[in-house]
C-alpha cells in the first residue's frame, strides 16, 4: 500500500537563497529547507553528531554542512560520511510561488 502524500506549505520562493538553509516547522515537524543550486531540499533540523542546529549550516557541493564540527550530509539522501548516520529527508515541490514539503520523511537504509 502506498503511503499518503501529505504536502504542506513551508515557505515561498525567495525565502531561501542558493547555498543557504532556513528553519521551518511543518505540521509540527522541525526541519530545514535549503537550496542546493536550483534544487530545494529538506532534512531533519538536528545534526546527528551532537544535535547541532543545521539551520545555522551552509550548503556546499551537494551537502548541508553542520556549523559545529563540520559533519556533511547529502542534500539528496541525507547520508553522511559516517557509517549508519543518515538524516531524515523530506520531498519538496514548488507550486506557483509556494514551496511545499511532504512531511512523510524518509531515512535511507544503511
Ligand atoms: S553537532 Fe553537528 S557536527 Fe557536531
Query: pLDDT tens digits for 45-66?
Result: 999 999 999 999 999 999 999 9
For residues 63-92, give the mean pLDDT: 96
User: What pLDDT shows up at residue 2?
Assistant: 57
What's the fold here for domain 7-102? Answer: Rieske Iron-sulfur Protein (2.102.10)
- Taking CA atoms, 92 is separated from 3, 69, 102, in Å, by 16, 27, 6
List, in order, residues 6 or more apart from 41 with CB less than 8 Å away.
33, 34, 35, 64, 75, 76, 89, 92
Of 87, 29, 85, the residue nearest 57 (C-alpha): 87
User: What pLDDT shows up at residue 93?
Assistant: 96
Kindly indicate the confidence band of residue 108, based on its pLDDT and cuts at 50, 70 and 90: confident
The angle at the Cα of 24, spanning 44 to 19, to the nearest 5 degrees, equals: 80
For residues 95-103, give the mean pLDDT: 96
* Residue 46 alpha carbon to ligand 1 centre in Å: 9
* Residue 4 alpha carbon to ligand 1 centre in Å: 33
Question: What is the model's pTM?
Answer: 0.92
* Residue 83 alpha carbon to ligand 1 centre in Å: 15
pLDDT at residue 109 is higher than 60: no
Q: Which atom of ligand 1 is closest in space to residue 71's alpha carbon? A: 3
Kindly indicate the confidence band of residue 106, based on its pLDDT and cuts at 50, 70 and 90: confident
Amino acid at each position: 500500500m502506498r503511503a499518503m502524500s501529505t504536502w504542506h506549505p513551508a515557505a515561498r520562493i525567495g525565502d531561501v537563497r542558493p547555498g543557504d538553509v532556513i528553519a521551518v516547522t511543518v505540521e509540527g515537524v522541525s526541519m530545514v529547507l535549503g537550496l542546493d543550486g536550483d534544487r530545494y531540499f529538506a532534512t531533519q533540523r538536528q545534526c546527528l553528531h551532537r544535535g547541532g542546529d543545521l539551520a545555522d549550516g551552509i550548503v556546499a557541493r551537494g551537502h548541508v554542512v553542520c556549523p559545529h564540527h563540520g559533519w556533511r550530509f547529502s542534500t539528496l539522501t541525507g547520508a553522511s560520511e559516517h557509517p549508519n548516520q543518515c538524516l531524515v529527508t523530506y520531498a519538496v515541490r514548488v507550486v506557483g510561488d509556494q514551496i511545499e514539503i511532504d512531511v512523510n520523511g524518509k531515512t535511507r537504509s544503511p
